[in-house]
Each structure stands twice: as C-alpha cells, then as structure tokens.
Amino acid sequence: MPPLNLPPVKEVAKIPGDWVEERSGLVSVSKYFLFRNVPRDISWLQTLGSALITVFIVQVTTGILLAMYYKPSTEEAFDSIRYITDEATLGWLVRGMHKWGSSVMVILLFLHMGRTFLFGAYKYPRELTWISGALIFILVMAMSFTGYLLVFDQRAYWATVVGVNINGTAPILGPFLSEFLKVGPEFTTETLTRFYALHMLVLPAAITGLIVLHNWLVVRLGVTSPPWSKHRATKGDV
C-alpha cells in the first residue's frame, strides 16, 4: 500500500473557505470589509450608523415574531394585540422592544444625521451616501406612520384617520394618496391589510435595499475623520 499523501490539517481547514472563494469571491469581499483601513481618529461618533443597523435587525426580528401572532383585520387586530401583550410568553417584551425600538431608531437617525452634518460628510465625494440616508430617514417615518395604526386602539385609529386626511389635503395627488391608503373612502379591513403590507413587506424591502446601497458607498468611499483632525498630509485649507 502506498503511503497516504494527505495535506496537513491547516490546509484541510482552508478547504471550505477556498471552495466558497473560488465560486463566489465572498471570502475576499469579507476580508476587504474587515481589514480595510479607516482614518486613525475614528471613534464613538462614527458608531451611530452601525448602531442603526443593529436597531433595524432588532425591528426585523421582533417584527417577524409579532407577525406570527398579529391578525390584520378590524375584527381581530385589537384582540391579537391584547393576546400578544397580556398572554403570549414574553409577548410584552417582543412588542415593547418593537415599539421602543422605533423611537430609539428615530433618535439615532437624527444623531447620525447631525454627526454627518457637523463633519461636512455629505460633501464631495459622499453626496449619494447622504441622499440614500435621507431616503432611509423618510421611509423610516413612513414605517412609523403605517405601524402606528396596527395596534388598532382609539389613538392609533384616530391619529391615522387624521394623518390620512392630512395627506388628502395635498393638491392634485392628495386625494389619490388618501384613497390609496384607505382603499376607498372608508376605513375597512382592507385599509388595515394595506397598511400591514406596506409596513412589513414594501417599506422594509425598500429600506433594506437602501441600507445595502448606503453601506456599499460608505465602504467604497471610506469613513470621514473629524474635520478638526490633526492627522493631515497637508497644512492649510483643503
């Protein structure tokens, strides 16, 4: 019997990675992402964006769990919210995290935007990064608007009626927008299912796409260091 000519263990461990790398290049993409350089004075102020991704993941996870118990009809919505809050195991925690996660997300969005503004990080070459972020902000506000109705208690219902009516006051497009949101002139179960579909399918998909674009631009263009950074190649104005 000829001697077995096995490669050393260290080489064997690389085989799955090499297999994926050869077929997708994903290993080098990950390596590029993790081992790229960033300016040396990057610190806490630049953590708000990644914290937002974390909150988004919290919202998606708790949202999926809520969707397993929520019933989007005018007859059952309020009862399913009562069940989630009062009876389901840790339902109050999942709903509470989703509810307060949305507030935390809006606050972080404002802080993240403020940091970007202070650093002038929306200027060349990062204009598109800012625009994609601004669109995410607007869509997150739309998420909040569509999610608010789903609890289907008095405040949710009447605040949404008023909100839809406000949309309806816009010239030309307003009445169409208001009819589109309500699915006709009245609030019905179809209104609720429409809000639900926007809240858990359309808007999250759009936000996910914009987050991918936003972060691709961030990695490609690099994270800005503070404008007061002393670590410069040149003196004087730039």
Partner 1 sequence: MPRYTARERRERYLREYDFQKRTGKQFFPYAIYHDAIMSVIVVGVIIAMAVFWRMDFGAVPTDASAAREGGLLGPAYESRADPAIEGYDPKPEWYFFFLFELLKIFKTPELLIVGSVIIPTLMMMALIALPFIDRRPERRVSRRPVAMAVGVAVPIVLLALTWRGDQGAGIAGEASNRPGATAFAQTLGCGTCHKLADAGTAGNVGPVLDDALPDYAEAVQVITNGRGAMPAFEDIGEDQINCIAGYVATWSGGEGETPGPNAASAEQAYPAACEAAGGEYAGEAGASAAGVPSRGGSAQAAG
- Considering only residues 32 to 61 of the shown chain, the ones binding partner 1 according to CB under 8 A are 33-40, 42-44, 46-48, 50-51, 54-55, 58
CA-to-CA separations, 31 to 20, 43, 46, in angstroms, rounded:
13, 21, 21
Residue owning tokens 């919210």: 81
Instruction: Let me know: does 129 contact 60? Beta carbons within 8 Å.
Output: no
Size of the site for partner 1 (CB under 8 A): 97
d(CA 11, CA 85): 53
- Amino acid (1-letter code) at residue 98: H
6 binds partner 1 (CB under 8 A): no
> Would you say 6 or 233 has its CB closer to partner 1?
233
Q: What's the rounded Cα separation, in Å, for the pair 30 and 199? A: 31
The whole-angstrom separation of Cα 150 and Cα 81 is: 9
Instruction: Please identify, using beta-carbon distances, which residue of 211 and 223 lies nearer to partner 1.
Output: 223
Burial bucket for residue 172 (CB in 10 Å: 0-12, 13-18, 19+): exposed
Of 200 and 226, which CB lies nearer to partner 1 in the complex structure?
A: 226
Determine, following the binding rule CB under 8 A, whether residue 117 of this chain makes contact with partner 1. Answer: yes
Closest approach, Cβ 220 to partner 1, in A, equals 12
Smaller CB separation from partner 1, 4 or 34: 34
10 binds partner 1 (CB under 8 A): no
Q: Which is nearer to partner 1, 69 or 122 (CB)?
A: 122
Q: Tell me which of 152, 203, 207, 210 binds partner 1, using CB under 8 A.
A: 152
Find the shortest distance in angstroms from Cβ 169 to partner 1.
Answer: 5
Q: Is 75 in the site for partner 1 (CB under 8 A)?
A: yes
Task: For residue 13, state whether it binds partner 1 (rule: CB under 8 A).
Answer: no
Q: Is 157 in the site for partner 1 (CB under 8 A)?
A: yes
Of 15-23, 64-72, 208-216, 228-236, the window that binds partner 1 (rule: CB under 8 A) is 228-236
Residues 73-99 as b/e (b if ≥16 CB within 10 A, e otherwise) read beeebbebbeebeeebeebeebbebbe
Among 152, 148, 185, residue whose Cα is nearest residue 163: 148
* CB 69, min distance to partner 1, A: 14
- At 88 the three-state DSSP class reads coil
Site for partner 1 in 162-221 (CB under 8 A): 162-163, 165-166, 169-171, 174, 187-189
Of 66, 72, 80, 81, the residue at the interface with partner 1 (CB under 8 A) is 81
Displacement of CA 67 from its chain's centroid (Å)? 17
